[in-house]
């Protein structure tokens, strides 16, 4: 009797789960099949049981294990040039996704319909960001926070922060000089530390001095990122991932909430001591300080709350801390990657490097300290048109991310063949790296040609409107794009004429092979362990799956002083 009851207790839930999976699976399979019948483009090899997972797996097997997952789409994209979109079915792992690489569908996604951020994105980003933020918010909540934070990222305010960036790049130059004509070092590590110092100075008014000694906050973020993936089951299924990310997330939150409280007290004190009009027009320096200033003003003017009675609302403080974590994550990861790949492109194109140096000589003089000039005249940065063109061309070929949105009931896309694609129950990904090299849109798309950003609109090299999307388009474009471009320009202005950086992958690979033991060497000789793939599309410095698409193996390089 006991065994019978136990059997029922076990069997009934198991059968219920099986029935649920079969019913849900059938419904989702039927939707995909219906889209196939509508003529929605899909890669060959679709399966009722596994969607396109086996197709994706075959593509990934040809790549290094750490390669960016979008690299797997390289062979699929040309097969759908007529529609510039195809559907990837990730059943049973994830929702089916429209993979977009044309400007018309990109516009429909980000601007015409302004589709919402995925409902599950907050969960995916939570270990890094802590919860709701601009990257996951929708509707009125997103509008409120975007309007509150916009002033801190305005072009004029970003210009006022140039001296802070110069201070951080000064340390970067000091460390490069210490490495000059010495051994290999990781450029990616150095640019990541630089970007961390810049983003915390500009968003929090906090100097971590992370370039000289890794700060506990930076260590916590890097640890979380090392244990994070949006798709890799080897990381997602690791039982240690959740406790490790939780522990280091607590360290990040504690630090930011402490700094946030300090800035709030400073803003209240500043408001209380303003006695003349000149002082009242003085702007706070950091992004979050400006947001807190606006928060206090709204409390005073809209809610009629006396200054002494204004307190930092817990819900506001919690979300503000998430916003700061977002800015630090995005500003640190993607900016570091962009700086590194810009140096990479300059090392591969000496003629371009010579033009950059010539521009800096013309604007700053050949015998002056460009950092000192930028502190006095930050607007000089806007005269560096060719430098900006180099940065944009680098971002075109090495975009640090893509954009994902959720479909909606009643919203249908129309592809270039005229096929109507209902977006309900689908996600849509704008694949920046393929939009940026779409041969229909770009002349000589795979070539590094900074001049395309300087030619007239009637020139065949001129970038088509909507085709350059590293910061996305539409209402939800990147709020921090001006800061990113300013930081890279300052870095190049202060280093391009002083240092020469050269990748050292061959030397790095030889050193790594030398570290292998006898057992690994034996396995290679007998064919048990094959030669590991370390090149993607001819590029050793390929983009990896780490957030921000960092270069492989940290970009090992050597640096020397120009003229020495």
Point out the annotated binding site for heme.
Answer: 478
**Omega before 92 cis (within 30°)?**
yes
Q: How many whole angstroms separate alpha carbon 399 and alpha carbon 296?
A: 38
* Distance from chain centroid for Cα 495: 24
Per the annotation, binding residues are 478
In terms of Cα–Cα distance, which of 150, 207, 93, 174 is closest to 371?
174
C-alpha distance from residue 168 to each of 198, 300, 335, 337 (Å): 6, 36, 14, 17
Q: How many whole angstroms separate alpha carbon 155 and alpha carbon 252?
A: 28
Neighbours of 282 (CB within 10 A): 9
Q: How many whole angstroms separate alpha carbon 418 and alpha carbon 398?
A: 31
CA atoms within 13 A on the CB side of 403: 28
Task: Produce one character per residue of 197-229: b if its CB has 16 or more CB atoms within 10 Å, e if not.
Answer: bbbbbbbbbbebebbeeebebbebbbbbbebbb
C-alpha distance from residue 400 to each of 88, 145, 327, 339, 550 (Å): 21, 24, 15, 11, 8
Task: Give the three-state DSSP class for 47.
Answer: strand
Q: Contact 125/133 with Cβ under 8 angstroms? A: yes
> Residue 421 belongs to what H/E stretch?
strand 420-422
- Give me 556's structure tokens: 């090992």
Task: Produce one character per residue of 466-487: b if its CB has 16 or more CB atoms within 10 Å, e if not.
Answer: bbbbbbbbbebebbbbbbbbbb
């Amino acid at each position: 009797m006991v065994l019978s009851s136990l059997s029922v207790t076990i069997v009934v839930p198991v059968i219920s789960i099986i029935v649920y999976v079969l019913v849900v699976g059938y419904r989702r399979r039927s939707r995909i099949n219906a889209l196939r019948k509508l003529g929605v483009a899909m890669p060959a090899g679709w399966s009722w049981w596994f969607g396109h997972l086996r197709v994706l797996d075959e593509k990934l097997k040809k790549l290094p294990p750490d390669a960016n997952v979008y690299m797997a789409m390289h062979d699929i994209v040309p097969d759908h040039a007529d529609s510039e979109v195809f559907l990837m079915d990730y059943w049973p792992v994830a929702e089916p996704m429209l993979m977009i690489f044309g400007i018309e569908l990109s516009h429909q996604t980000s601007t015409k319909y302004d589709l919402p951020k995925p409902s599950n994105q907050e969960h995916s980003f939570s270990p890094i960001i802590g919860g709701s933020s601009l990257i996951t918010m929708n509707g009125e909540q997103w509008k409120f926070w975007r309007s509150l934070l916009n002033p801190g990222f305005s072009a004029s305010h970003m210009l006022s922060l140039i001296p802070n960036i110069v201070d951080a790049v000064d340390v970067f130059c000091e460390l490069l000089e210490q490495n000059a004509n010495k051994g290999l070092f990781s450029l990616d590590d150095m640019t990541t530390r630089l970007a961390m110092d810049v983003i915390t100075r500009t968003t929090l008014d906090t100097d971590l001095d992370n370039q000289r000694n890794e700060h506990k906050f930076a260590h916590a973020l890097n640890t979380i990122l090392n244990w994070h993936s949006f798709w890799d089951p080897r990381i997602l299924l690791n039982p240690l991932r959740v406790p490790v990310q939780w522990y280091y997330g607590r360290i990040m939150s504690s630090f930011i909430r402490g700094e946030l409280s300090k800035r709030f007290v400073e803003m209240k004190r500043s408001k209380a001591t303003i006695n003349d009009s000149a002082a009242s027009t003085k702007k706070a320096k950091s992004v979050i300080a400006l947001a807190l200033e606006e928060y206090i003003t709204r409390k005073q003017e809209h809610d009629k709350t006396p200054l002494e009675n204004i307190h930092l609302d817990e819900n506001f403080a919690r979300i503000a801390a998430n916003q700061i974590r977002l800015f630090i994550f995005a500003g640190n990861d993607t900016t570091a990657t962009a700086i590194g790949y810009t140096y990479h492109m300059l090392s591969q194109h000496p003629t371009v490097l010579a033009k950059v140096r010539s521009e800096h000589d013309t604007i700053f003089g050949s015998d002056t300290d460009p950092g000192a000039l930028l502190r006095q005249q930050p607007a000089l940065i806007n005269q560096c048109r060719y430098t900006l063109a180099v940065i944009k061309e680098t971002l075109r070929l090495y975009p640090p991310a893509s954009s994902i949105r959720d479909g909606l009931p009643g919203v249908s896309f129309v592809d270039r063949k005229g096929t109507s694609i209902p977006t309900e129950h689908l996600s849509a990904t704008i694949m920046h790296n393929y939009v940026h090299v779409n041969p229909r849109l770009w002349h000589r798309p795979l070539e590094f040609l900074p001049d395309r950003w300087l030619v007239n609109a009637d020139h065949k090299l001129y970038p088509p409107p909507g085709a350059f999307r590293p910061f996305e388009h539409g209402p939800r474009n990147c709020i921090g794009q001006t800061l990113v471009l300013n930081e890279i320009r300052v870095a190049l202005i202060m280093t391009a004429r002083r240092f020469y950086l050269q990748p050292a992958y061959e030397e790095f690979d030889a050193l790594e092979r030398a570290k292998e033991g006898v057992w690994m060497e034996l396995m290679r000789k007998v064919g048990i362990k094959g030669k590991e793939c370390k090149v993607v599309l001819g590029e050793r410095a390929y983009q990896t799956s780490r957030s921000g698409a960092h270069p492989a193996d940290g970009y090992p390089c050597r640096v020397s002083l120009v003229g020495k």
